[in-house]
Structure 1
Amino acid sequence: MKVLIRTDASIAIGSGHIARCLTLAQALRKHGAEVVFACRQLKGHLLQRVIEHGFVAHGLPASYPQESGADIEASLPWQSDIDALTDVLGDELRFDWLIVDHYGLDAQWETAARRFAERLMAIDDLANRPHAADLLLDQNFSAQAVEHAYAAWVGADCQTLLGPRFALMREAFECQPIEIRPKVTRVVVNFGGFDAARQVFATLLALQCFTELEVDFVAGLHNPDWDTMSALAAARPQWRLHTLVDDFCGLLLQADLFIGAGGGTTWERAALGLPTVCISVANNQRLNAQLLAQAGAHLYLGAYEQLDCQRLTEAVALLCGNRELRQSFAQRSRALVDGKGAMRVVAALMTPVLALRPATARDADLLFEGRNAEHVRCWSFNREPIDRGIHQRWLDQSLSSANRLLLIAETVQGPLGVLRYDRQEERVEVSIYLMAGQLGLGWGRALLQSGERYVREHWPDVRIIEAQAMADNAVSITLFQKAGYVQAECYFQRVINDE
């Protein structure tokens, strides 16, 4: 699968778009995808960081004709951007997916960009402009909290992935939460990759009275207050000033409290259960930060423009002395995020292109272990472990039957799951299971859609696919319903050919 990502970073825009797209690109690469970036060469563009992660990165012009404003994420001249993409891509014009993460591009650009890709995905946070996408991701809590947030902005056929369940986070954050200790001893301060709002310095001033705290200030690149902060930090051995941190997750795991913005690190903090004082530094962060505060996930002090030093000092003092409040923040934030969002997005992207292969005799061990896995047997009509000899005879019969398809889905990471189709004239019955470690990521839906394509190709006269599920198997019932199956008496079925 070939994927093109169109996004930008700059001192004014920040690094958040690049950071989350890099996380998604790395997850896609793990499953065999080839990912290419295209970014404007604005001041602070981070193209080199993309290249250092092993991806091809095309540089686009820093400015276009008819463009108004300076280095901001205003609406771009969409035709100029399309023309620039055409110039830099050259012969590499067709991709399976184009992913756009840019507030200055909308449905006009997306419609024109279909010349580059079969399918298009938009990453958004704002719900303020039309999209012409096949798939839309908004990982913010506000996207699921506000009913029908994108109803006016996407077409009826656009699949939406909304909420922190799909938060794009690195694998490092799939770990145990931090311990909520009786006292706060260590604090991390970070306001993004560039800190254009100068909030690291403002926080440094607010923390001067906490002489007992160890504090890691992650100031970001090109911070305008670096020299002043360095002088202040030099007088305090318990303060450490960083531009960037190679192991940000490791740093957070050592902390008791975080002070920062309402951007992409929101979900990293939540996954670790790290109590947070949140200050929004951009308009697009405010609603999400407010709703998370209402849900009890963090302490929100509002927008940085209205915040004074004394109020931040009081908030830190409150949390330092209140373990119960920090514990409550940790529990409620952890309930929102499990760290597997990037893999759920990968599954959604791979659904239209996921290939299946027929099982062979060489798959005997794989199928035996898969069928006997506890998570498979507990929802099977026969819950007893299958005998090796019985399994081998069943496999031999399955491989020789003209009325059975036994299919395996896999990527370069290994097998994902197994489908079995049993045919009786114009109807087939489907059975499905996923391999251990693949549950809850969306692969079930991907397998069913790929299997349906396979059935259409190999048995074009089949009209109906049926499926059975135990009455208390809510996961399977929901899976079939979302895949378009309609309950018919005590079984599910899907009509795939009305002729």
Structure 2
Amino acid sequence: MSLASAREHRTAVVSARAREEIHVAVRVDASANIGVGHAVRCLALVQELSRRSVRVTVFGMLDIGWVADAYERLGVPVMSPSQIDRAHVTHAVIDGYDISPELGAGLRSNAVRVLAMVDDEFGAGQVADVYVDQNYGARPHVGGPDGSIALAGPPYSLLRDEVLAVRSAPVLEHTRVTSDAAPRVLAVFGGTDPHGAAEVLVPMLVETGAPMQLTVVCPDPARGARLSSVPVQGPHQHVTVTAVLPNLAATAAAHDVAVSAAGSTVWELLTIGTPTAVVCVVDNQEPGYRATTGSGLVVPAGRLTRLRTGDCNEREAGVESLARLLTDGQLQHHLRRRGMAQFDGRGRERVADALLDSAQFVDGHGRRTPDDVGVPGEIG
């Protein structure tokens, strides 16, 4: 049986018995302080599990309305985190840096198969059967229990339905490189922009002096009012502030470039081919920031802490990079093609396979082999 046929067979078997036998718990939170990145990437995995008719329950606090609504539309119940220990589940997904490793250990002691989402060393202390670091340039997690699986890199990026729909839709090549129209720029710094990155990056964008039609996502009304009053440099710069985007992927696809925090949103933008500049907002984004900017996959806009404290060199370099992204059509074309080549949109399928398939296909060192998850290259 071919690898593709084997994967299809396993998926069919899982779907056939899912309602009776499989119950996946997802432990994740979303709030103005935490942000929505953890909950959004888990949403992508839940969408894949729902497609396979797998029963899912979320255990967490989803305090952001549109995030809670997205889970509700899937018919997924949301319960208190404290109830996960008493729930009758067969599998669990844990995504959160402050969640005690005792949770994973306790679930495993009850024969629950545990998958932990990690970002470099952040969250890596969790005890799990499967570790997933979806970041570009990530190395497989080490130090997990014997027989645990470590998956790393773009082949395992979790992408929502709306992102996959945009990627699969027919897209016309952008022709702005020969057009006089000002570039359409989307600035988004996570679902809540908890660190106020927009107030630092929007003035930098304006400072480039380049023509632009800039849309800034800012859910905070007071902050949004300040952004709306940022003085522009000339009649060809226009700034619009919006509190939320119903469909980020579709909106991003309609823009020529994007400026984003260096988190999960970047993988969505690259998947749909939006040339992107990134700012490192918090420490856990540093590995991904270095990897993506160092490889030329995205353009560096700087580190927020340095920009905010008046590091002139960091700001000057950031403004220069932004100016080039806004004005260089060939660079935009190059970034667009590279991003889509790196992120194929099938990461959530591979992660779901690893979560649900408890058969121990391992190499001689107790590690899952690359072919078992349908991705070439070294895993462990």
Is the TM-score greater than 0.5?
yes
> Which of the pair has the greater relative contact order for Cα pairs under 8 Å at 6+ separation?
2
Corresponding residue number in structure 1 for 2:167 = 174
Shift of 1:284: 0.8
Matched position secondary structure for 1:277: strand
Structure 1 residues 112, 224: CA separation in 2 closer, same or farther (over 3 Å shift)? farther
Distance in 1 of aligned mates of 2:236 and 2:356: 51
Corresponding residue number in structure 2 for 1:340 = 346
Matched position secondary structure for 1:274: coil
Distance in 2 of aligned mates of 1:159 and 1:267: 22
Corresponding residue number in structure 1 for 2:217 = 218
Corresponding residue number in structure 2 for 1:263 = 263
Matched position secondary structure for 1:3: strand
Shift of 1:53: 4.1
Matched position secondary structure for 2:192: coil
Q: Which amino acid aligns with 1:349?
A: L
Q: Which amino acid aligns with 1:212?
A: P
Could you tell me whether the CA contact under 8 Å between 1:9 and 1:44 is conserved in 2?
no
Shift of 1:174: 3.2
What is the 5 A alignment of 1:42-441?
47=68, 49-60=70-81, 84-85=82-83, 93-114=87-108, 118-127=112-121, 129-144=124-139, 149-151=140-142, 153-170=143-160, 171-175=164-168, 179-180=173-174, 181-182=176-177, 185-208=183-206, 210=209, 212-219=211-218, 221-222=219-220, 224-231=222-229, 238-307=238-307, 311-352=317-358
Corresponding residue number in structure 2 for 1:416 = none
Structure 1 residues 174, 248: CA separation in 2 closer, same or farther (over 3 Å shift)? same
Shift of 1:318: 1.5
- Residue 7 (structure 1) aligned to one of 10, 28, 31: 28
> TM-score, with normalisation over the residues of structure 2?
0.76
Shift of 1:8: 1.3
Larger gyration radius, structure 1 or structure 2: 1
Distance in 2 of aligned mates of 1:236 and 1:327: 23
Shift of 1:293: 1.4
Shift of 1:323: 2.2
Name the stretch that deviates more: 122-131 or 173-182: 173-182
- CA-to-aligned-CA distance 1:233-266 (integer Å, 9 cap, x gap): 9999943321111121111111111111110111
Distance in 1 of aligned mates of 2:65 and 2:221: 11
Distance in 2 of aligned mates of 1:116 and 1:224: 48
Structure 1 residues 312, 300: CA separation in 2 closer, same or farther (over 3 Å shift)? closer
Structure 2, unaligned stretches of length 5 or more? 1-21, 360-368
Structure 1 residues 334, 4: CA separation in 2 closer, same or farther (over 3 Å shift)? same
Could you tell me whether the CA contact under 8 Å between 1:11 and 1:44 is conserved in 2?
no
Distance in 1 of aligned mates of 2:236 and 2:111: 54
Matched position secondary structure for 2:60: strand
Distance in 2 of aligned mates of 1:317 and 1:14: 28
Distance in 2 of aligned mates of 1:315 and 1:445: 41
Matched position secondary structure for 1:95: coil
Whose helix fraction is larger, Structure 1's or Structure 2's? 2
- CA-to-aligned-CA distance 1:257-301 (integer Å, 9 cap, x gap): 111111011111111222111101110111111111121101113
Shift of 1:232: 5.0
Shift of 1:85: 2.5
Shift of 1:116: 6.1
Matched position secondary structure for 1:143: coil
Identity %: 23
Shift of 1:47: 4.1
Matched positions, count: 331
Distance in 2 of aligned mates of 1:233 and 1:340: 43
- CA-to-aligned-CA distance 1:186-227 (integer Å, 9 cap, x gap): 1000000111221222222233354731111111x3365122
Matched position secondary structure for 2:289: helix
Shift of 1:110: 1.0
Shift of 1:127: 2.6
Q: Which amino acid aligns with 2:60?
A: C
Structure 1 residues 124, 335: CA separation in 2 closer, same or farther (over 3 Å shift)? same
Shift of 1:346: 1.7
Structure 1, unaligned stretches of length 5 or more? 61-83, 354-441, 447-474, 483-499
Could you tell me whether the CA contact under 8 Å between 1:11 and 1:43 is conserved in 2?
yes
Distance in 1 of aligned mates of 2:63 and 2:241: 26
Distance in 1 of aligned mates of 2:74 and 2:221: 23
Could you tell me whether the CA contact under 8 Å between 2:40 and 2:67 is conserved in 1?
no
Shift of 1:5: 0.1
Distance in 2 of aligned mates of 1:345 and 1:173: 21
